C-alpha cells in the first residue's frame, strides 16, 4: 500500500516516461513517410497524462517519496496547461517541420522528455527533485535547438545555450549546497522551518540565496542573465523557439514559487529586494531593446525578457493576490506566445522564414482573417483592452499597488507604454503597408482552426477573465498556504 501511495501522485510522470520510451523504440520501426503515427502517439500520450492528472487529483496537498514530490492543486493546474501548450506546439509546427525535414521521432521524443522535466519541476518539494526536473528539461531543449545539424546558426545557438545553461546550473547548485549547509536539509518545508527557528547561519543563508536567485533569474531569462535569450530564439528553428518560449515558463513559475515562497519565505525581505532590481531592469532593457529589432524572433525574445520582469512583480508583491496574479500572467503569456510563434510558422514556407517585420507587410490584403488574429495577439501582448493581456497586466499592477510599491507600478506602466510601440508597429505594417510578397498562404485545416481558437481566445478570455483568474488564485491559495 505504501508503494501505491507514493506512485499515485506521480502517475502522470511515470506514464509519460514509459510512453516516451515506447515511442522512441516504435519510431525506429516506422518508415519516414509514417511519421504521422508517431505524432498521433505523442498527442495521445499527452491526452493520457491529462486524464491521469485529473483522475489522481485529491483535495489538499499530497506528499510522496519522503516529501520529495508534492501533488497539489497548483501543480495539477499547471501540468494540465503544460500538456495543452506542448500539444498546441506540435500542431502548429507539424507542417513547418515536415517541409524542413525535421519532422522526426527525435523531435517528438525530446518534446516528451522536456515535458517530463517540466512536470517534475512543477511538483518538486525538494532541492534535488527541483534540480533533476530542471536538468531533464534543459538537456532536452539543448538537443532540440541543435537538431538542424546543417544550420550553422542553430548549432551556434545550441552551443551558447548549453554553455550558459551549464553555468547557471552551477550557480543554482552552489546556492542550494550553501542553503543545505546552513539549514541541514534539502526539503523545502524543513529549510523554511530551520530558517524560522533562527538556528541557521544568517550570512551563509544570504550568500546561498544570492546564488539561487541568480540561477533562477538565468532560467527565467531576466536581466542581467538574459544574454542567451535573443540568440537562442533567433538561431533555433521556429518550432523549437515556440517550445522554449511557451510551456517552460509555466514550469519556471512553479520552480521560482516553490523555492522562494515555500522554501525561503522567512528570507522574503532579502529576496524581494533582489526581484525588484531584476524586474525593473528586465522591463526596461527588454522593452527598449525590442524597438531596435527587425527580426521578429529577436523582438519576441526581448519582449519575453520584459514579460518575465512583469511576472516577477507579482511574486515580489507577496500574498495570494500577488502569487495568483503572477500565475495568471504566466498562463496568459504562454497562450500569447504560442499564437505569435504559430503565426510566424503559418506564414513560413519551404526555403523561407517569415521572421522579419517586412514579411508581415500587407498581411491584411493577403489574408484578412490571419491579420485579424495577429492583431488580437499583438493587442493582448501590448496590454490593450479588452484583450486578456490587459487583465493580466492589470492584476499584477493591482497586486503591486496593494503591496505598497506604488512607484514600481508607475515604472511598470511607463515601460509597458514603450513596449506597446513595437507590438502596434506590426499591426500598422499588416494593415497600412503594401505586401512585399503575394505568395499564397497555405494552412492545414487543423492548424487554421487552432490558430483561430488561439487568437479569438485572447478576446474571449479578455471579456470573461474571471474564471481563469479565480482558478489561479484558488490553486495558489490551496497549495501555498496549506504547507
Q: What is the mean pLDDT of residues 354-374?
A: 87
pLDDT tens for each residue of 305-317: 999 999 999 888 8
Query: Which DSSP helix (H) or strand (E) runs through 165?
Result: helix 152-183
- Distance between CA atoms of residues 422 and 1, nearest Å: 57
What per-residue confidence (pLDDT) applies to 184? 86
- Distance between CA atoms of residues 149 and 106, nearest Å: 13
- Distance between CA atoms of residues 445 and 449, nearest Å: 6
Task: Determine contact, residues 341/416, Cβ cutoff 8 Å.
Answer: no
pLDDT tens for each residue of 90-114: 999 888 888 888 888 889 999 999 9
What percentage of the chain exceeds 90 in pLDDT? 51
pLDDT tens for each residue of 131-161: 999 999 999 999 999 988 888 888 999 999 9
- The C-alpha angle with vertex 389 and arms to 386 and 395, in degrees rounded to 5, equals 95
Residue 41 CA to its chain's centroid (Å): 24
For 294, list phi and psi in degrees, rounded to 5. -105, -20
What percentage of the chain exceeds 70 in pLDDT? 98
What per-residue confidence (pLDDT) applies to 483? 43
What per-residue confidence (pLDDT) applies to 34? 66
pLDDT classification of 398: cutoffs 50, 70, 90? very high
Please state whether the peptide bond connecting residue 386 to the residue before it is cis, i.e. omega within 30 degrees of 0.
yes
Task: Determine contact, residues 185/196, Cβ cutoff 8 Å.
Answer: no
Which of 428, 328, 449 lies closest to 379 in space, CA to CA?
428
pLDDT tens for each residue of 468-478: 899 998 888 88
- Distance between CA atoms of residues 425 and 430, nearest Å: 9
Query: Which DSSP helix (H) or strand (E) runs through 69?
Result: strand 69-71
Provide the β-strand partners of residue 64. 69
What per-residue confidence (pLDDT) applies to 482? 45
Provide the β-strand partners of residue 295. 356
Q: Helix H segments across 184-227?
A: 188-197, 202-220
- Distance between CA atoms of residues 318 and 359, nearest Å: 42
Burial class (CB in 10 A: 0-12, 13-18, 19+), 440: exposed
- Distance between CA atoms of residues 207 and 448, nearest Å: 51
Q: Which residues contact 32 (CB under 8 A, 6 or more apart)?
A: none
pLDDT classification of 481: cutoffs 50, 70, 90? low
- Distance between CA atoms of residues 196 and 183, nearest Å: 10
pLDDT tens for each residue of 154-180: 899 999 999 999 999 999 999 999 999
pLDDT tens for each residue of 294-344: 899 999 999 999 999 999 998 888 788 889 999 999 999 999 999 999 998
Q: Which residues contact 72 (CB under 8 A, 6 or more apart)?
A: 60, 61, 62, 475, 478, 479, 482
> Mean pLDDT over all residues of the chain?
89
Task: Determine contact, residues 102/32, Cβ cutoff 8 Å.
Answer: no
What per-residue confidence (pLDDT) applies to 363? 87
CA contacts within 13 A on the Cβ side of 354: 23
> Would the pLDDT of 358 be above 50?
yes
Q: What is the mean pLDDT of residues 118-126?
A: 92
For 439, list phi and psi in degrees, rounded to 5. -60, 140
For 356, list phi and psi in degrees, rounded to 5. -115, 160
Amino acid at each position: 500500500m505504501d508503494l501505491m501511495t507514493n506512485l499515485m501522485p506521480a502517475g502522470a510522470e511515470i506514464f509519460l516516461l514509459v510512453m516516451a520510451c515506447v515511442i522512441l523504440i516504435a519510431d525506429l520501426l516506422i518508415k519516414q513517410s509514417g511519421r504521422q503515427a508517431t505524432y498521433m502517439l505523442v498527442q495521445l500520450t499527452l491526452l493520457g497524462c491529462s486524464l491521469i492528472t485529473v483522475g489522481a487529483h485529491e483535495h489538499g496537498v499530497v506528499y510522496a517519496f519522503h516529501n520529495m514530490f508534492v501533488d497539489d492543486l497548483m501543480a495539477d493546474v499547471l501540468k494540465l496547461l503544460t500538456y495543452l501548450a506542448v500539444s498546441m506546439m506540435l500542431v502548429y509546427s507539424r507542417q513547418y517541420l515536415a517541409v524542413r525535414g525535421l519532422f522526426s521521432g527525435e523531435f517528438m521524443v525530446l518534446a516528451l522528455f522536456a515535458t517530463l522535466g517540466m512536470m517534475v519541476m512543477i511538483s518538486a518539494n525538494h532541492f534535488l527533485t527541483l534540480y533533476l526536473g530542471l536538468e531533464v528539461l534543459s538537456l532536452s531543449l539543448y538537443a532540440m535547438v541543435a537538431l538542424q545539424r546543417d544550420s550553422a546558426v542553430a548549432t551556434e545557438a545550441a552551443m551558447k545555450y548549453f554553455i550558459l545553461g551549464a553555468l547557471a546550473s552551477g550557480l543554482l547548485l552552489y546556492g542550494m549546497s550553501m542553503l543545505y549547509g546552513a539549514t541541514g536539509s534539502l526539503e523545502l518545508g524543513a529549510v523554511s522551518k530551520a530558517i524560522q527557528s533562527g538556528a541557521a547561519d544568517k550570512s551563509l543563508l544570504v550568500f546561498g540565496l544570492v546564488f539561487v536567485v541568480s540561477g533562477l533569474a538565468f532560467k527565467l531569462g531576466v536581466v542581467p542573465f538574459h544574454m542567451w535569450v535573443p540568440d537562442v530564439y533567433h538561431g533555433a528553428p521556429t518550432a523549437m523557439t515556440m517550445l522554449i518560449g511557451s510551456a517552460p515558463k509555466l514550469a519556471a513559475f512553479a520552480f521560482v514559487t516553490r523555492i522562494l515562497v515555500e522554501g525561503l519565505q522567512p528570507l522574503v525581505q532579502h529576496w524581494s529586494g533582489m526581484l525588484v532590481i531584476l524586474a525593473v531592469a528586465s522591463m526596461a532593457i527588454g522593452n527598449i531593446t525590442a524597438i531596435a529589432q527587425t527580426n521578429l524572433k529577436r523582438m519576441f525574445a526581448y519582449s519575453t525578457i520584459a514579460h518575465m520582469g512583469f511576472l516577477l512583480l507579482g511574486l515580489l508583491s507577496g500574498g495570494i493576490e500577488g502569487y495568483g496574479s503572477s500565475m495568471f500572467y504566466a498562463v496568459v503569456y504562454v497562450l500569447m506566445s504560442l499564437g505569435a510563434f504559430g503565426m510566424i510558422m503559418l506564414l513560413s514556407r519551404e526555403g523561407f522564414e517569415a521572421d522579419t517585420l517586412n514579411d508581415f507587410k500587407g498581411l491584411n490584403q493577403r489574408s484578412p482573417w490571419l491579420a485579424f488574429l495577429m492583431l488580437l495577439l499583438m493587442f493582448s501582448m501590448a496590454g490593450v483592452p479588452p484583450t486578456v493581456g490587459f487583465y493580466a497586466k492589470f492584476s499584477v499592477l493591482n497586486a503591486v499597488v496593494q503591496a505598497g510599491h506604488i512607484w514600481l507600478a508607475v515604472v511598470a506602466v511607463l515601460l509597458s507604454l514603450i513596449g506597446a510601440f513595437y507590438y502596434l508597429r506590426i499591426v500598422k505594417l499588416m494593415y497600412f503597408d503594401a505586401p512585399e510578397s503575394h505568395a499564397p498562404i497555405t494552412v492545414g485545416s487543423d492548424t487554421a482552426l487552432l490558430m483561430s481558437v488561439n487568437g479569438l481566445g485572447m478576446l474571449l478570455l479578455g471579456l470573461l477573465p474571471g474564471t481563469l483568474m479565480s482558478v489561479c488564485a484558488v490553486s495558489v491559495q490551496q497549495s501555498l498556504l496549506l504547507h
